[in-house]
Structure 1
Amino acid sequence: MPNSVEREISRRLDAWEALQKSADWPLVTAQEVRELGIYGGASGVWVDKNLTSDVAPEGVAVGLLHTGKHYDDDVDETGILYHYPTTDRPASRDANEIQAIKNAKLFGIPIFVIRNLGGAKKVELAWLNDFDDELRICVLTFHGLFPEQNTFAVNPSPDVPPTLFGARRTTKSSVERAERDPLFKFNILKSPKSMLLKC
């Protein structure tokens, strides 16, 4: 199994390197994404079972599509809160996709996060940092080639309260709005004290 894990990590890092050579990087075409095996499905979670079922029976998630239609403020330059799939398909399919996402953390394999930007795609190399089955959310961070480079902290300990208020970045588009920190939302919801907020 370690050989299959190493092979899959190497394949993904090679794809990441190839993406960065794209003429319009950091934007790429859907064709480039498909040709590199980063995404090939119609649903949000792409699991290439042909390449990853030798790592784990459910496979390992290769790409996660974030359309921004429902949770547009759950992504920023540091990472994304990715909501578990909840579809009308058989429950086992959603469960297998969720496990395939978790398998990336279990085996230390990066996942590609794909966002639609107009007619182009923006792809980030991400690492699964944390997940919460009750909230049906996982946290992926964009921080480079190695998991140990992660400087974006998910609440390190349930004994340490999350920072509730801090400086917020803003972006300018057609309107100016404060950007939300996705990790703040996750840390608050996952915090044991959040039970008071849920009441």
Structure 2
Amino acid sequence: MAESPADLAAPAADRPTQNFAWSNMFVHPDDDPRSDGNHYDERTILVEYLRDQRLTLELKCADLDAEALARRAIPPSKLSLLGLVRHLAEVERGWFRRTMAGQDAPKLYCSEADPDGDFDGAVGDPEVVAEAWRTWRAEVEFAERFVAESDDLGVTGRHGGGEVSLRELLVHMIEEYARHNGHADLLRELIDGRVGQ
């Protein structure tokens, strides 16, 4: 029997309790691998903010087994941390390989028959998890290399019937990760009560 919204809001023995303390955060501020800002030129600002968002995704998924990574949010949502990793690999690939580099790079998980394949295929299998991280890291590496080798943030790629600049794409990617890292905050809290930072 499905739980009602009132049931989901009520405390339950099998749900984690929220605990806000440094010991329950992902990393102590002194050990945080993300930057603390203080960037002055446009390229560095965009590259470092995107780097920090990517690191945040990794932090939200740290120390979880395959089953926990594949745990879905409240039905009917298909969201899971593993699904987000797969989805963001797909997003990185689409924007940087296809749009900006003009590569023939087929979709990784999604298809016409399964447009939500990135989330549908996010199952609690260690091999699926390992493959998702390998793929995500490969797509991030390609994107970082593409940006580093681009002389100008005004370089454009073809998207739909128009063009998009690398500058605009970097801003979009920061927004994309920030949105999904908000989802990841809630997913992680649902799994073990750890709260975001």
User: Smaller-chain TM-score range?
Assistant: under 0.3
TM-score, scaled to structure 1: 0.26
Whose Rg is larger? 2
Q: Which structure: greater strand fraction?
A: 1
> What's the TM-score once normalised by structure 2's chain length?
0.26
Higher relative contact order (CA 8 A, sep 6+): 2
